[in-house]
Amino acid sequence: MRSYRTTRRAAAIAVTAALAAGLLAGCASDDGDDSAKDTGGDSSGKTTLNVGLFGVFGYQEAGLYAEYEKLHPNIKIKQTTVERNENYYPALLTHLSAGSGLSDIQGIEIANIAEITSTQADKFMDLSKVEGASKDNFFPWKAAQGSTKDGKLIGLGTDIGPMALCYRKDLFEAAGLPTDRDKVAELWKGDWKKWVDAGNQYKAKAPKGTAWTDGAAGVFNAAISSSATRYVDDSGNYIYKDNPDVRAAFDLAADAAANGLTAKTGEPFTEPWNQAIANGKFATISCPAWMLGTLKDKGGDKAKGKWDIAVPPKGGNWGGSFLGVPEAGKNKEEAAKLAAWLTAPEQQAKLFAKQGSFPSSPQAAAMPEIKTAKNDYFPEVPYGEIFSATAADIPVQVIGAKDQTVQENFVRSGLLLVEQGKQDKDGAWDAAIKAIDNALDQ
Amino acid sequence: MTSTGSHVTAPPSNKGGAAPRHQNSDGANTARNAKRRSRLYRWDMKYSPYGFIAPFFLFFLAFGLFPLLYTGYASLHQVELTAPTDMNWVGLRNYSRLLEDDFFWNALKVTLILGIMSTVPQLLMALGLAHLLNYRLRGSTFFRVAMLTPYATSVAAATLVFAMLFGRDYGMINWFLGFFGVDHIDWAAGTWSSRIGVSVIVIWRWTGYNTLIYLAAMQAIPKDLYESAAIDGASRWKQFLHVTIPSLRPTILFTVVVSSIGAMQLFGEPLLFNPGGGANGGAEHQFQTIGLYLYEQGWTNQHLGRGAAIAWVMFILLVVIGLLSTLISRRLAKTH
């Protein structure tokens, strides 16, 4: 009896200890975030450079880190990625003002670059003097976006986001739509509205459980990306309420959602969105060049070879990012060299060939291998030719410091209401404007 | 005792050369030593406790009081996340604007609703479970440990798993409901379904914790109360109602207060339950608690001053809850 009790007690203690250990392990794993601390050299004398990014930049996937490490045997590169920029960016600002917790290189989204250059300029290194980096390496508008008022170049352009439309050949065929990319482009030539109209055609014979496009957010992003002015005018005044282009894009997206043309994936880069890509739940998606990498990443082998790419109704730019080197980093000089190398024309061309992110460098865009680029995830698709053509149609956009806040609220406090069947488009517009006004008011 | 002894003997051994004098003034020395010892002893009794609790207060000062006061200072300013050290004095504007801020009132309402939806079932279930665990059970230690496991998991891990369970297209709950012909429910999008989802996570995490507190209190109830009740012919249910519950009154008040404070600060669950990952608590802000609104203003919208004012309102509300509970417990003690 006694021994039975002791074993029982021992078992209880063991269970408790195991739980406690699990708990401690859970806490301990948080330490990984503190990447700034473990820079410096490790025991083998190598310098570790931390690269902090969001979403899919594709450097790792395209093997560029490995290549750089081979060229510079004393460098080790470690990348940390946050899925959504919305979570990444506030943390970046906090780290910048604290001067700690920063990676040696930090990615900056185009929606935030205006705020970074206007408020955080002194926290980033001027990269124009770094070997291999030059303003001339980038499209003039891209270089201007990455520069401060006094001419410091603090953000090196990684890529730009010329638009195309990606479509699933298998779903188009099942719904009786043409699958040849030129004929597909004819469906919506000239007007984003025609793209939504084609969706109604698709819906009539759509395979069960599939929708025309991912979500109202995608439709809105696509349509608004063709406009030169969006949320602020040239002098920085907010015009998101009165700009007819914004309202038109909003209404188009709301109509698409209300007509049941969307797969109701909510916001892009979320779990439901990823799952919809993986399971082939929609037939078209607005496709800036970098989206190809995302489609490949989330779609996996199941969707390999099923996507094709067509010229969009209008040229536009959605996204494209920058790399900056925080002044507070421990290995600034080495980090600047790496950032310059990663964004140099040759590497941008390689990135395009492997991942599809379109070069922000005219020299790279002019390279013959860009036009002939092929990607085995999108076999037979001359995507180099398509994106080169649409890149030429990009309007020079006026960007504002708070573009991200405005755009996000149009989607999450407005269009999602329509997609979830809670509001009509006017009600959703009012709700969105109310949320934006509140968010912008200091 | 040994440590005080060594203290007293230490001085003579240090001054080893003073041996002859030591012989002469032996009596005086012992008296002085005794006096010193009693003084040290008195100091020890008087001041050591302060020394022992000092670390807590130092940490509280650095990580509790200072941030609290600094937040109060920031709440009187316009401060942006892009430049946290540039402060513009705006007086009480950050507070007065809350009065006409629909998003704030919505957050307050949601916090209250979620507080009731999660606390009431949680405490009732905890009471019932504690009653069951109070019986003689085989493997009672196992059950007690198992009760506490949800409490020991992290909010983030638990919420992410629940968010998957509540998923619209591939969630297990919708899959299960599908067997009964229920269409897929978009849990996170619905007004009440999302609130149910968030409440379930809170209930799951905290029921076991409250169960163990109730169980401990139940075990302190004298057995003879139950015996005499049984002799009087009271059923187990009657015993629970008329013996257990009244004896648990102070404990119940304690758990209600602790749960209310927890509900007021609800943050991680609704943040991570949102598939968009944002702090807006759904498209309608249907599960945006005060904690989430604070975070949205401070970090997403980057208005630290406005966020700080919300934090202070939250703090004041917590103080009110604390005062109310003190009042009630005083009255309880009087009626006892």
pLDDT tens, position by position, A214-226:
999 999 999 999 9
Model pLDDT, residue B19: 45
SS3 A301: helix
- The full DSSP string for A190-247 is T-HHHHHHHHHHHHHTPPTT-EEES-HHHHHHHHHTT-S-SSB-TTS-B-TTT-HHHH
Residue B1 has pLDDT above 80, yes or no: no
Model pLDDT, residue B283: 93
Residue A5 has pLDDT above 60, yes or no: no
Answer for the pair A172, A283: CB distance below 8 angstroms, yes or no: yes
Model pLDDT, residue A42: 52
Answer for the pair A108, A323: CB distance below 8 angstroms, yes or no: yes
Model pLDDT, residue B92: 96
Which residues on chain B are in Cβ contact (under 8 Å) with A267? 275-278
Interface with A, mutate which of B75, B78, B81, B144 (most A CBs under 10 A): B81
Interface with B, mutate which of A23, A88, A269, A420 (most B CBs under 10 A): A420
Model pLDDT, residue A3: 52
A70: Cβ contacts below 8 Å, ≥ 6 apart:
none
Using the beta-carbon criterion (under 8 Å), do A15 and B145 form an inter-chain contact? Answer: yes
Using the beta-carbon criterion (under 8 Å), do B302 and A275 form an inter-chain contact? Answer: no
* Residue B10 banded pLDDT, cuts 50, 70, 90: very low
For residue A205 the two structure tokens come to: 């014979």
Residue B206 has pLDDT above 50, yes or no: yes
Q: How far apart (Å, rounded) are the C-alpha atoms in residues B95 and B91?
A: 9
Instruction: Give how far the C-alpha of residue A17 lies from the chain's centroid of Cα atoms, to the nearest Å.
Output: 43
Q: How far apart (Å, rounded) are the C-alpha atoms in residues B199 and A77?
A: 43
Model pLDDT, residue A29: 40
* Intervals of CATH 1.10.3720.10 along chain B: 98-335
pLDDT mean over A200-217: 95
Q: How far apart (Å, rounded) are the C-alpha atoms in residues A152 and A135?
A: 10
What pTM, to 2 d.p., does this model score?
Answer: 0.84
A355: Cβ contacts below 8 Å, ≥ 6 apart:
A56, A58, A61, A62, A290, A292, A293, A296
Residue A393 has pLDDT above 90, yes or no: no
**Other CB atoms closer than 10 Å to residue B136's CB: what's the count?**
5
Answer for the pair A273, A215: CB distance below 8 angstroms, yes or no: yes
Q: What is the DSSP letter of B65?
A: I
A434: Cβ contacts below 8 Å, ≥ 6 apart:
A413, B102
Backbone angles phi, psi at A310, to 5 degrees: -125, 160
Interface with A, mutate which of B169, B274, B310 (most A CBs under 10 A): B169
Pairwise pLDDT comparison (B113 vs B44), residue with the higher score = B113
The single residue listed with the structure tokens 């984003």 is A192
Q: How far apart (Å, rounded) are the C-alpha atoms in residues A405 and A411?
A: 10
Buried residues in B294-307 as b, exposed as e (16+ CB within 10 A): bbbbbbbbbbbbbb
**Other CB atoms closer than 10 Å to residue A374's CB: what's the count?**
13
Sheet containing A321-324: order of strands: A75-82, A47-54, A105-109, A321-324, A156-157
Q: How far apart (Å, rounded) are the C-alpha atoms in residues B46 and B50?
A: 8
Model pLDDT, residue B33: 87
Residue A12 has pLDDT above 70, yes or no: no
- A163-316+382-440 domain in CATH 3.90.226.10? no
Q: Where are the domains of chain A?
A: 47-160+320-366, 163-316+382-440
* Residue A206 banded pLDDT, cuts 50, 70, 90: very high
Q: Is A119 on the interface with B (CB under 8 A)?
A: yes
Using the beta-carbon criterion (under 8 Å), do A119 and B82 form an inter-chain contact? Answer: yes
Pairwise pLDDT comparison (A178 vs A442), residue with the higher score = A178
Give the closest of A12, A119, A440 to B145, CB-based.
A12
Q: How far apart (Å, rounded) are the C-alpha atoms in residues A344 and B214?
A: 66
Residues 412-431 in A contacting B (C-alpha not used; CB under 8 Å): 412-413, 416-417, 420, 422
Q: At what angle do helices B26-60 and B2-14 cross, to 10 degrees?
A: 120
Under CATH, which architecture does the B98-335 domain have? Orthogonal Bundle (1.10)
Answer for the pair B174, B152: CB distance below 8 angstroms, yes or no: no
Using the beta-carbon criterion (under 8 Å), do A84 and B168 form an inter-chain contact? Answer: no
Q: How far apart (Å, rounded) are the C-alpha atoms in residues A317 and A164?
A: 10
Using the beta-carbon criterion (under 8 Å), do B301 and A439 form an inter-chain contact? Answer: yes
Give the closest of A90, A94, A420 to B189, CB-based.
A420
Residue-averaged pLDDT of chain A: 89
pLDDT tens, position by position, A304-360:
999 999 999 999 999 999 999 999 998 999 999 999 999 999 999 999 988 889 999
Sheet containing A307-310: order of strands: A211-213, A282-288, A163-168, A307-310
Query: Which CATH number is associated with domain A47-160+320-366?
Result: 3.40.190.10
Using the beta-carbon criterion (under 8 Å), do B278 and A271 form an inter-chain contact? Answer: no
Closest approach of chain A CAs to the CA of B26, in angstroms?
57
For residue A358 the two structure tokens come to: 């379109």
H-helix segments, chain B:
2-14, 19-24, 26-60, 66-74, 93-99, 102-133, 140-152, 155-165, 172-178, 191-219, 223-231, 236-239, 245-264, 268-273, 290-295, 304-335
Residue-averaged pLDDT of chain B: 89
Q: What is the ipTM of this complex?
A: 0.84
Give the closest of B154, B169, B303 to A272, CB-based.
B169
Residue A236 exposed, middle or buried by CB count within 10 Å (0-12, 13-18, 19+): exposed
Interface with A, mutate which of B105, B153, B273, B280 (most A CBs under 10 A): B280
Q: How far apart (Å, rounded) are the C-alpha atoms in residues A115 and A95?
A: 15
pLDDT tens, position by position, B291-303:
999 999 999 999 9
Answer for the pair B147, B129: CB distance below 8 angstroms, yes or no: yes
Closest approach of chain B CAs to the CA of A102, in angstroms?
15
For residue A60 the two structure tokens come to: 């790792």
Model pLDDT, residue B334: 81
Matching fold, domains A47-160+320-366 and A163-316+382-440: yes
For residue B141 the two structure tokens come to: 């230690």
For residue B92 the two structure tokens come to: 């009480």
